[in-house]
Amino acid sequence: MLTRNLRLGRARPPTPAAVLTLLAGLGLTVVLAVGMIDGERERARSEFLQRAEIRNASVTRSFGDALDVLQAANALFSSVGIATRDEFGAFARPLLANHQYLQAVVFHRMVSSADRAAFEAANQRFRPGFGIRERRATGDAVTVVPAGRRPRYLVLDYVEPLGGNEVALGYDAFSFAPHAAAFMRAIDTNQPAASAMLPLLQRGDRLGFVLIQPVYRRGAPLVNAAARSAAALGDTAVIIDVAALVDSNLAKSNLLAPNGLRIELYGPGVDGPQRAYVYDSLGRTRPPPWHALMGDTLFTNRHTFDVAGLPWELRIAGRLSDMTGSTGPLIAFVLGCLVSLATSAYVQSRVKRTRRIEALVESRTADLHDALDALRLYRRAIEASANAIVLVSATRPGYPIEYVNPAFERIRGYRAAEAVGRGLLELGAREPDRAAVAELRAAIRERREAHVSMRLSCGDGRQMFAEVYIAPVNNDDGVTTHFVMTQYDVTMAKRYEAELEARARFDTLTGLANRSMLQDRIENAINLAAGRGVVWVAALDLDHFKFVNDTLGHDAGDELLKTAAQRICSVVERTDTVARTGGDEFVLVLPGRENESEAAATVRAVLEALAHPLELSGQDLVLTGSAGLAAYPADGSDAATLIQHAEVAMYRSKELGRNMVQFYMPTMNARARERLALEGALRSALTHDEFELYYQPQVDLVSGAVVGLEALIRWRHPSMGMVRPDRFINLAEETGLIVPIGAWVLRTACRQSRAWQHAGLGPLRIAVNLSARQFAEPNLVREIARVLEETGLSAACLEVEITESLVMGDVESAIRTMRELKQMGVLLSIDDFGTGYSSLSYLRRFPVDVLKIDRSFVRDIPFDEDDAAMVAAIIQLARGLRMRVIAEGVETEAQLDYLRRRGCDEVQGHVYAQAASGPDVERMLRTGRHMLPHNATV
């Protein structure tokens, strides 16, 4: 899951946060880089200015240097007067040697026109052909010719070095306008003056200029220009090679190494400013890489200065790229980009992670809410449970109780606060049921489920009986952390157990022994007689009882039966047994009668007692009966045969005119004949297709919905008409015919149920009655499985009804069969519950789903308190054993109401519907699954 998220996450586009981070990072980087570039530019500019300043200073100084040289030469004349030629030469030569830029050091002598001849003559003595000369320009060429007549001449008299300058000797500087102008300016300003630039005489390719300072007569007042002009004896001048001047100075200061500067010097030319000097080393270094981003810049600097009255300008230019080689901005930019990318990636991953965590937290929270909802639901369910539920810690010593539900408080009479924290077994019984406690301890030790029934003592000292279930609660790792214990109060059921047992052996209406008790009594008597004595068995049937029942009603019928029972009992001995075996059928066991007459006397006394008039529902009645006697060992050696033969004799009595006694005689086979006839008809009934199934709805008491149908067999005999099962099931059982008949019932019922499901009538449980013989069939389970498979009905839709007495023969094998059926998924129900030999200890071992409360209990609720209480006890018992309860034979809404209040689950009876044929039931189901009760008219 996580890896899938991760993979998906990688494929997803960058998050806005990551994009913003990247943009912000890049923006910052650009700002930083631009800032750095600006800084770099500023740094470069100041670097440039600094370099320019140095050069400005150097160049300016070099001119100062030249002026110093001039002034030194002039000082020679002002101190000693006009020096001699030799003195001049001795003075000038070291100057020339020290200052390479000096082309020449000169003394011009002022010569008046009057002195010209003498001057020329004096010089001609050591310089033949000497004369004062001047320049003359003819076309392009410049020639030097003898000077014309002028009042004064400024004649070049001394020049050092002489070599190469000889031609200049005698030259009149006044004839050369630039020089004349400079001289006049020097007179005017009383300052040294510079000439405009001119090509150098010696090196015509280079420019130079002349620095001039007049020489005055010593002591003359130099107050104004005129006085100075009058006092002027001449001038000292130095001729300067501009390039050499600048070069030598820059070189001296080591400023000429390639440094990325162009140095241009502009000086005064004859026709305006003229470039005098260029030094160019621009662009010699490689521009730094960030210029690709920002472009290069050319810095320029102009420095103007005055040289002896004339303006000069030094222009210096330098490239930004030459001032700085820093890759700082670029590195900053690249690093900035990288950091931005990395930060953005980090933010992206954080955002992803955060989202993932958020999603995870969200889904976990939702899970938690679901779990909490479920927990709340479970808790409410537990709190609403009608049974005591206890939660016990499995890990703390003594297994303390951690929780009890409200039902526990109610049933056990302990408040939750009292119970919680106490050991599980502390809240047990005062005199504990050793076996049950041992089983519980074992279950706790072995971390397994257990079910015991035990006595428990309650908070108020009461004793109660409970069905107790315990089950381990394991955590996800399979470790048992708790036990959950459920306690069902079956005190009431237990109290009625004895009575149930009695009922199992006694007829509930009359209190006489029932058929099963009768069986025992006969067998006991036979054992006691053991070949020495005789045991008489009398069968007695009330005449016209059916008539009484039909005309005066059931209540009258019941009253009559009770009275009859009392009267019979009042006659017989204490050692005799009186049993009621059917509606109006009684059987008496009369041991100790030596002969027929003694036995007959007792029976006659009974008939006489019965015959006393009786008032019933305002009617006077005389009860008569018919009786038959059979004797052990003469007429039979077992109870069944003896009863049967007594009944045969009794039928003989009825035939002969009622209210009499007949002894059994082997010839008395009338009844046997009838049975034989019935048996014959029964055998062919299957092949003649005379059977039919009726279905009776089973209705959920709460919803009123039909949840199941009980299949009830009907025999439509061509001449006898509709024969009720009561009349032939026993016979079929005895003859074994029940096996094929039962198989037919099972198949037909399953097929019908499946057909109804197919027809869309919903899943309906179908209940099928099994007889003892069928249940004992060794291949019963296989047969049922086959039928289910053939018909396609799901096992969960089939319910098998068995009676308690039916399994009592061989309990172990019965339980085995039940288990096998349960394993298949077939439901099991105990039919006619309460009439057979009910033992809770057995019942607990039966894997049974449903208890069917017998009609006899239902009949008298809510009028008979005992019966009503019994029904309530059975319902409680079923709950304790976690079984469903269905009440059968429910005929009135009052019964229904009582059953509902007692918590009965389902009912079956005429109050909803009688058993009806398949098509009738189908019609009914089609109108809806829900039924309304109505008092049955019985």
Q: Which residues bind ligand C2E (CB under 6 A)?
A: 696, 712-713, 724-726, 729, 742, 745, 769, 771, 831-832, 888-891, 909-910, 915, 936
**Closest separation in Å from C-beta 711 to Ca ion:** 9
Identified binder of Ca ion from the candidate list 157, 635, 832, 867, rule CB under 5 A: 832
**Closest separation in Å from C-beta 859 to Ca ion:** 12
Mode of pairing for the β-strands spanning 261-269 and 272-280: antiparallel
Site residues (CB under 5 A) for Ca ion, limited to 760-779: 769
- Here the tokens at position 233 are 């004896």
Nearer to Ca ion, 403 or 691 (CB): 691
Nearer to ligand C2E, 131 or 725 (CB): 725
Q: Which does 581 bind (CB under 5 to 8 A by kind): Ca ion, ligand C2E, none?
A: none
Nearer to ligand C2E, 568 or 737 (CB): 737
Bridge partners, residue 696, by sequence: 710
Contact by Cβ (8 Å): 781, 810: no
**Closest separation in Å from C-beta 721 to ligand C2E:** 14
> What residues contact 412, with CB distance under 8 A and at least 6 apart?
388, 404, 419, 427, 456, 458, 459, 464, 487
What is the spatial distance between Cα 275 and Cα 268, in angstroms, rounded to a whole number? 9
Q: Helices (DSSP H) in 487-587: which residue ranges? A: 491-505, 515-529, 545-552, 554-571
**Closest separation in Å from C-beta 768 to ligand C2E:** 7
Contact by Cβ (8 Å): 316, 301: yes
Q: Which does 108 bind (CB under 5 to 8 A by kind): Ca ion, ligand C2E, none?
A: none
Mode of pairing for the β-strands spanning 585-591 and 577-580: antiparallel
Contact by Cβ (8 Å): 706, 741: no
88: helix, coil or strand?
helix
Nearer to ligand C2E, 33 or 797 (CB): 797
Nearer to Ca ion, 56 or 769 (CB): 769
Q: Which does 671 bind (CB under 5 to 8 A by kind): ligand C2E, Ca ion, none?
A: none
Q: Which does 134 bind (CB under 5 to 8 A by kind): ligand C2E, Ca ion, none?
A: none
For tokens 């308690």, the residue is 804
Nearer to ligand C2E, 170 or 742 (CB): 742
Q: Which does 584 bind (CB under 5 to 8 A by kind): Ca ion, ligand C2E, none?
A: none
**Closest separation in Å from C-beta 413 to Ca ion:** 38
Q: Which does 745 bind (CB under 5 to 8 A by kind): ligand C2E, Ca ion, none?
A: ligand C2E
Q: Which does 103 bind (CB under 5 to 8 A by kind): ligand C2E, Ca ion, none?
A: none
CA 799 to chain centre: 43
The region of 50-58, 295-303, 728-736, 800-808 touching Ca ion under the rule CB under 5 A is 800-808
Q: Which does 712 bind (CB under 5 to 8 A by kind): Ca ion, ligand C2E, none?
A: ligand C2E
What is the spatial distance between Cα 610 and Cα 118, in angstroms, rounded to a whole number? 212
Using CA atoms in the order 706, 708, 709, 710, what is the torsion angle rounded to 10 degrees? -140
**Closest separation in Å from C-beta 882 to ligand C2E:** 23
Tell me phi and psi for residue 578, to 5 degrees: -115, 125
Site residues (CB under 5 A) for Ca ion, limited to 711-770: 769
What is the spatial distance between Cα 341 and Cα 347, in angstroms, rounded to a whole number? 10
Nearer to Ca ion, 111 or 885 (CB): 885
For tokens 């099931």, the residue is 729
CB neighbour class for 74 (10 Å; exposed up to 12, middle 13-18, buried from 19): buried
CB-hemisphere CA count at 13 Å for 857?
Answer: 28
Q: Which does 724 bind (CB under 5 to 8 A by kind): Ca ion, ligand C2E, none?
A: ligand C2E
Contact by Cβ (8 Å): 590, 529: no
**Closest separation in Å from C-beta 858 to Ca ion:** 10
**Closest separation in Å from C-beta 503 to Ca ion:** 15
What is the greatest pairwise CA distance in the chain?
Answer: 223
Nearer to ligand C2E, 639 or 749 (CB): 749
**Closest separation in Å from C-beta 888 to Ca ion:** 5
Closest by CA to 488, choosing from 453, 437, 440, is 453
Q: Which does 400 bind (CB under 5 to 8 A by kind): ligand C2E, Ca ion, none?
A: none
Asked if 799 touches Ca ion (CB under 5 A), the answer is no
> Degrees (nearest 5) of the Cα angle 318, 320, 325?
120
Nearer to Ca ion, 689 or 726 (CB): 726
Residue 663 neighbours by CB distance under 10 Å: 20
258, containing H or E segment? none
Q: Which does 891 bind (CB under 5 to 8 A by kind): Ca ion, ligand C2E, none?
A: ligand C2E
278: helix, coil or strand?
strand
DSSP state of 627: E
**Closest separation in Å from C-beta 554 to ligand C2E:** 9
Beta strands in 405-502 (DSSP E): 450-457, 463-474, 480-489
**Closest separation in Å from C-beta 462 to ligand C2E:** 37
Nearer to Ca ion, 47 or 832 (CB): 832
**Closest separation in Å from C-beta 369 to ligand C2E:** 51
Q: Is omega for the bond preceding 258 within 30 degrees of 0, making it cis? A: no
Residue 238 neighbours by CB distance under 10 Å: 30
**Closest separation in Å from C-beta 394 to ligand C2E:** 46
Q: Which does 892 bind (CB under 5 to 8 A by kind): Ca ion, ligand C2E, none?
A: none
**Closest separation in Å from C-beta 846 to ligand C2E:** 18
Q: Which does 92 bind (CB under 5 to 8 A by kind): ligand C2E, Ca ion, none?
A: none
Closest by CA to 624, choosing from 603, 607, 599, is 607
The region of 307-315, 344-352, 565-573, 801-809 touching Ca ion under the rule CB under 5 A is 801-809
Nearer to Ca ion, 340 or 696 (CB): 696
Q: What is the CA radius of gyration of the chain?
A: 73
> What residues contact 626, with CB distance under 8 A and at least 6 apart?
540, 541, 543, 650, 651, 653, 654, 658, 659, 660
Nearer to ligand C2E, 387 or 791 (CB): 791
Q: How many of the chain's residues bind Ca ion (CB under 5 A)? A: 4
Nearer to ligand C2E, 553 or 633 (CB): 553
Nearer to ligand C2E, 402 or 679 (CB): 679
204, containing H or E segment? none
Nearer to Ca ion, 317 or 828 (CB): 828
Asked if 801 touches Ca ion (CB under 5 A), the answer is yes
For tokens 């992803």, the residue is 352
Task: Tell me how long the chain is.
Answer: 938
Q: Which does 635 bind (CB under 5 to 8 A by kind): Ca ion, ligand C2E, none?
A: none
Contact by Cβ (8 Å): 566, 620: no
What is the spatial distance between Cα 671 and Cα 651, in angstroms, rounded to a whole number? 7
Nearer to ligand C2E, 464 or 682 (CB): 682
Q: Which does 688 bind (CB under 5 to 8 A by kind): Ca ion, ligand C2E, none?
A: none
Identified binder of Ca ion from the candidate list 433, 576, 831, 906, rule CB under 5 A: 831
Tell me phi and psi for residue 902, to 5 degrees: -80, -5
Q: Which does 799 bind (CB under 5 to 8 A by kind): Ca ion, ligand C2E, none?
A: none
**Closest separation in Å from C-beta 729 to ligand C2E:** 5
Helices 780-791/811-824 angle, 10° precision: 20
For tokens 């409360």, the residue is 853
**Closest separation in Å from C-beta 409 to Ca ion:** 39
Nearer to ligand C2E, 130 or 744 (CB): 744
**Closest separation in Å from C-beta 693 to Ca ion:** 13
**Interface residue list for Ca ion (CB under 5 A):** 769, 801, 831-832
